[in-house]
Structure formats: C-alpha cells, structure tokens
Amino acid sequence: MLESGPWSEWSLHLIIVASPADAIIGKYFLEVETRPEACSSGKNFFYILFNPWCKADSTFLPGDAHKDEYVLNDCGTLYSKGKTEDVVPSTWQYGQFEEDILDCCLYILDKSKLVAKERRDPVKITRVLSALVNKEDDEGVLEGKWELEKPCGGHTCPWTWEGSVQILNDYYKTKKSVKYGQCWVFSGVLTTILRCLGIATRSVTAYSAGVDKDGNLKIDHHAGEKIWTYHVWNDVWIKRPDLPDGYDGWQAVDGTNQITSDGIYCCGPASLKAIKNGEVNLDYDTRFLFAAVNVEEVDENLKCKKIRTRIVTKSLSREKSFEDIIDDYKFPEGSEEGKKALALAAHLSAKFPPIQQNVWEGTKKG
C-alpha cells in the first residue's frame, strides 16, 4: 500500500498476505499493480503447503521431536531387509528440500485432477498420491518389478536405489514412469512427496504381512494367497473429519499397487484406530490392512494358525534404530480386546464383496 507522507511524496507500507489454515495446496502467482514506474519484485509466485505447526491445520502434529523427524528429516531409515526376528536397516535419502522436488510433487498432484476444494483435504490428497506413486492407471512415478530372476534390462533394479531425488527428477524430466521399484521404494518416494507437501509421514515395515484376496481375513494358500516376508507402506498424521470423532492421528497408506480401491490401484488412508478395533467398515481399505497385520494362515489341510507380525519404523530415540509400533495396529495376541476386534472384523467383513487385488508373483517380499 502506498500513501502520502510528510517527508516525501510517497511512504511505503508493508503488505501482508495471510492464507487461511485450510487454503488450497499449490503454486500461486502474485501480481501487484502500483505506479507504472515502480520496480518489479522479481519472482511473482509462492507456494502454499500444509502446516503441521498450525493448530488450525488438518495436519497439525504435536511435539517438536515428531515434526523434526516426520516432516523435516530429509534422511531416514527403511527396513527392507531381514525378517521378523532379524530387523535390518538401510539408509534412504528423502531429499524433500532438494531443488525441483517441490515442483515435481505439485506436478504429480496436478495429475490427480482433484478439483480446487479437494486440494485442501489431506485425506483426499494422500489417497490420490498413493495411486500416483505407482505406474498403474495413471502412468505414475514408479513401475514395479517383482520377478527378481529376470534382468532389469538396462534399467535400475529396485534394490539399487538409495533415495527418492533421482527417481523424482527423472520422472519430472521425462514424464514417464521410472523403472523399477518395489514396496520400500514406493514407500520412500511417497514419504518424500508427502513430507514435501507438509504432511507428517513415516515409513512402516510389517514383517510377515498377509495378502488377503477374498476378504475373509484368512490367508488361504490353496486359494493363492500369501504372506510377505515383509511389506513396506506409510503412516500419515492427519485429521479425519470424514470419520466419527476419535479417528484422527496416524493413518496407513500404501503406494504399492496391490489392490484396486474405487477402481484404481491405491490404498488408504486407513485409521490405525479403526484397524486396531477391527472396524473394517470405515474408509479407506481398512479391511485389507486389518488382514495384513492379523495374519491367520490356513494350510492345505484347512488348519488355521496365527502368524506373528512385527511392525517397525525409525525410532525417534538416538539410542535405538527402530521402534516396534505393533501396539498402534493391534491389541496383544490373546487379549480380550484383541478377540473382540477379530470378532467385529469378521462380522463386518462378511457384509462386503471380495477385495480386488494384483498379487505379484516371483518373491515373498512386498
């Protein structure tokens, strides 16, 4: 704003632009008209992202240590090796603050074709990004490869990636899906995208994770179902106004193209509270994720046995590398709460049709 002043012809006043807590996420262009001879400010654009420091924002996350790790940390740890009793870490460079990564993330979000009002909703944004991180349906960021016995044909094999930046830069430059990824690569890239947009995100590994094709909450080997040695997905911290009160907080979201949901390959966000309680009727894909962590195996003789699942993520503590977060996902085995959750899930699941899946062959890894 320009006004007359007593000491000169014009006096400069500061212009402050404040955005609401639920502003539409994206890149904005700014034009300010003043006198014709006024100098240009140079760059005339700015970005609006989610703000987990703002209590009014639907991504607000309490605790500085949690924001430091799940939003600001650009180098983390994935658990994409080992097995239930032998957790093996590997370093992953998220690089969410590197040059061009934000523009790439917004380009990916633009591909979702969400209408403007939907781009203020982290529930819808995390859901569409879980689809766009894989190649299926929409030529997303990564093409999966599970047939490990076959060569990669001059492309990058999944186990050689060490971070997200090259993947996202290659995708942004070529506009073609990058070859190749597996579950931990999808998870690492999705962590980068979501943290870049301001959503607190952690990569999660479930050892002995079930893949339930028919939605009966049992892993039937005679029906072609299986148990991954491990599978890697993500948790995001967001509010859930679309669910009953009390389901805010960590939500599971999976970028690996295992299941179709609403006709596309995506998964989540599913409230961890709903998964834990067996409320498989609540959106999104809660039944599939409940079955993944409550593995009951049926052998060829139709005998059932429980499989121990372990769920880990990078620890906030410097004294240990990982944290076991199984209690976030399920009650202790054999507990009364756990039995009630299983019974409720079975009752609710019987009302739904089979889950549509794309279960990859060639490896027991996710």
Return the active site residues.
Answer: 183, 231, 254
Can you give the three-state secondary structure of 55-110, one letter per residue? CCCCCCCCCHHHHHHHHHCCEEEEEEEEECCEEEEEEEECCCCCCCHHHHHHHHHH
Say how many C-beta atoms besides its own lie within 10 A of residue 363's C-beta. 16
Q: Considering only CA atoms, which of 351, 317, 324 is closest in space to residue 85?
A: 324
Q: Which two tokens stand for residue 171?
A: 């995708």
CA–CA gap between residue 178 and residue 186 (Å, rounded): 11
Tell me the three state secondary structure of residue 191: helix
* Residue entry with tokens 């970005």: 47
142-144 vs 178-181, strand pairing mode: parallel
CA–CA gap between residue 293 and residue 208 (Å, rounded): 8
The distance in angstroms from the start CA to the end CA of the chain is 57
Q: How far is CA 121 from CA 5, 200, 202, 311, in A?
A: 45, 14, 19, 28
Say how many C-beta atoms besides its own lie within 10 A of residue 308's C-beta. 11
